């Protein structure tokens, strides 16, 4: 009798378990088969979807009513939300390609915090050695005294490799600067980037990617100083003996020069060109409280200005796709958490007339200052040993 009673209890328990499974099964099945608008005929998994940025080809997850991604000729591109870091669409985002002068954005992220703009420096002959043939120059001259801010304007507006060489020497030397740029890239999760020449000059083995350049552009917009430089349209550059000359930003999407229509709401950031890299561009724009970062690497058709028109098309798509696409990845996904280290004291910045040469010329830097909702970023890195000019 005891055995029989136990058997009936066991059978009853099993029946209840089976009933429970039958009740739960439809819900589990429904969770697995919810349609994914981004994949034709495929299921959609509830919650955040995995990144597909390492996949080849164009990646996008459209919802109902999303605009069609424009057809562009660039080898690689990314459209990302600067506020959230979400990548809205991309093509071969991690393809490693020569970056040209867009790599100067990484130089600025690395060196700007440790070189106060008001510091004056007299350029020496050795600081201008090793500039590659055919480099873009702003006109830095041996024996002439410049503010650090002058040199940065030469970098951002004229893409001056001569200015880059002087800034690199001021911040520890060419190789040291390249090594610190490499470390900065890795800390930001830009693992496709290999830095060998801080000015972006064609060097065998030097590469980056559309993903990494978007990371650099987005990080730069968090700095009011970076944003001011990258959004300056025109400035005056010292020519010696109290004379100066006008320099204009070579980012035609910002200036509207050479027949390229300026993009409404454009913040900056940086363009580049070498014979090996082709045309490259990081562009950021703000509309309706939203800031997008677009990177375009090496358009294959359309001529020298195609990089701007393709960036324009991608920016238009990104603003039109707001709320109508699911992200295909994130610019924060590979970011390295900083290791604990000694506290760093703020740099003592001397009084400066930093904007003397830019006064009276239009800038769009203020737009990006609000773009990410941040105030001016204070330099919090140790100040390096800087050679000052006599009498400064």
Has 159 been annotated as catalytic? yes
Q: Which of 104, 208, 223, 330 is catalytic?
A: 104
Q: Which of 76, 136, 149, 159 is catalytic?
A: 159
> Do residues 121 and 389 lie in contact, with contact meaning Cβ atoms separated by under 8 Å?
yes
Q: Which of 135, 106, 108 is nearest to 274 (CA)?
A: 135
Cα separation, 161 vs 345, in Å, equals 31
Whose structure tokens read 């800087």? 386
Cα separation, 205 vs 189, in Å, equals 19
Q: Please, what's the b/e burial string for 23-62 (b: 16 or more CB within 10 A of its CB; e: otherwise)? A: eeeeeeeeeeeeeebbeeeeebeeeebebbbeeeeebbbb
CB atoms within 10 A of CB 67: 14
Q: Please, what's the b/e burial string for 322-356 (b: 16 or more CB within 10 A of its CB; e: otherwise)? A: eeebbbbbbbeebbeeeeeeeeeeebeeeeeebee
Has 197 been annotated as catalytic? no
Cα separation, 272 vs 1, in Å, equals 89
Q: Which of 251, 280, 301, 219 is nearest to 97 (CA)?
A: 280
Residues that are catalytic: 101, 104, 159
């Amino acid at each position: 009798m005891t055995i029989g009673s136990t058997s009936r209890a066991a059978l009853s328990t099993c029946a209840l378990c089976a009933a429970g499974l039958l009740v739960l099964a439809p819900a589990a099945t429904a969770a697995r088969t919810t349609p994914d608008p981004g994949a034709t005929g495929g299921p959609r998994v509830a919650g955040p979807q995995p990144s597909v940025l390492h996949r080849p080809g164009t990646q996008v997850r459209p919802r109902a009513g999303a605009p069609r991604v424009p057809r562009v000729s660039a080898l690689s591109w990314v459209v990302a939300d600067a506020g959230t870091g979400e990548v809205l669409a991309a093509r071969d985002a991690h393809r490693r390609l020569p970056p040209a002068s867009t790599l100067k954005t990484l130089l600025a992220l690395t060196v700007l915090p440790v070189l106060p703009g008001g510091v004056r420096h007299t350029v020496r002959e050795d600081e201008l050695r090793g500039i590659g043939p055919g480099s873009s120059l702003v006109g830095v001259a041996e024996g002439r005294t410049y503010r650090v801010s002058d040199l940065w304007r030469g970098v951002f507006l004229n893409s001056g490799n001569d200015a880059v060489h002087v800034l690199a020497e001021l911040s520890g030397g060419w190789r040291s600067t390249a090594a610190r740029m490499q470390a900065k890239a890795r800390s930001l999760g830009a693992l496709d980037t290999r830095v060998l020449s801080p000015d972006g000059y064609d060097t065998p083995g030097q590469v980056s990617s559309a993903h990494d350049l978007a990371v650099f552009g987005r990080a730069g917009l968090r700095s009011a100083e970076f944003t001011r430089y990258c959004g300056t349209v025109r400035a005056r550059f010292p020519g010696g003996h109290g004379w100066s000359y006008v320099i204009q930003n070579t980012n035609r999407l910002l200036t509207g020069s050479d027949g390229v229509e300026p993009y409404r709401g454009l913040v900056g950031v940086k363009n580049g060109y070498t014979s090996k890299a082709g045309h490259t561009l990081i562009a950021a724009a703000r509309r309706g409280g939203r800031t997008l970062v677009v990177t375009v690497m090496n358009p294959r058709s359309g001529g020298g200005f195609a990089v701007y028109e393709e960036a324009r098309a991608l920016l238009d798509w990104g603003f039109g796709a707001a709320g109508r696409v699911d992200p295909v990845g994130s610019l924060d996904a590979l970011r390295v958490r900083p290791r604990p280290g000694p506290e760093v004291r703020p740099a003592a910045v001397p009084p400066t007339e930093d904007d003397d040469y830019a006064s009276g010329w239009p800038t769009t830097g203020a737009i990006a200052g609000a773009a990410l909702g941040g105030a001016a970023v204070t330099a919090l890195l140790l100040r390096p040993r800087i050679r000052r000019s006599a009498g400064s």
